[in-house]
Amino acid sequence: MFAAYVTVTILTAIFTGIAATTYLTGHDYPKAQLDMKRLPRSWGPRLGIALAAGSLGALAGFAVPPLGVLAAAGLVLYFVGALVAHLRVGSRQLAGWAVFFLTVVADLAITLLYRR
């Protein structure tokens, strides 16, 4: 169980950390996503900070278990919000969202199971 917990948590931190980096560095892909979802571009850095906090929180959970649980739960909520943003504009391009969502849900589930 420990190996699965470490693997999924690190994978979550890598995925969300890379996504955070794209938002925080002003990459074109997040800008296009914000435009497609009709969200203000000013939200980009804020979303990047939320992703970075989740990524770092997941890793901090190794030392402080409640932080890992809170980070995983926060990331699940983040990606539920992303789904709402997609559906609000009628977007059915959900493959990328699904990869992130399944990863963070798996992280939350395995973190809760490991830490109980």
What would the pLDDT profile of 53-95 be if each residue is shown by its tens digit?
999 999 999 999 999 999 999 999 999 999 999 999 999 999 9
* SS percent in the chain: helix, strand, coil, step 5: 80, 0, 20
Give the per-residue pLDDT at 114: 95
With pLDDT > 90 as the criterion, what percentage of the chain qualifies? 97
Mean pLDDT in the chain?
A: 96
Which residues fall within 8 angstroms of residue 20, CB to CB, at 6 or more apart?
48, 49, 51, 52, 55
Residue 92's alpha-carbon distances to 5, 25, 48, 86, in angstroms, are 31, 26, 23, 7
CA angle (12, 108, 37) in 5-degree steps = 65
When pLDDT is cut at 50, 70 and 90, the band that residue 116 belongs to is: confident
Rounded Cα–Cα distance for residues 110 and 8 (Å): 8
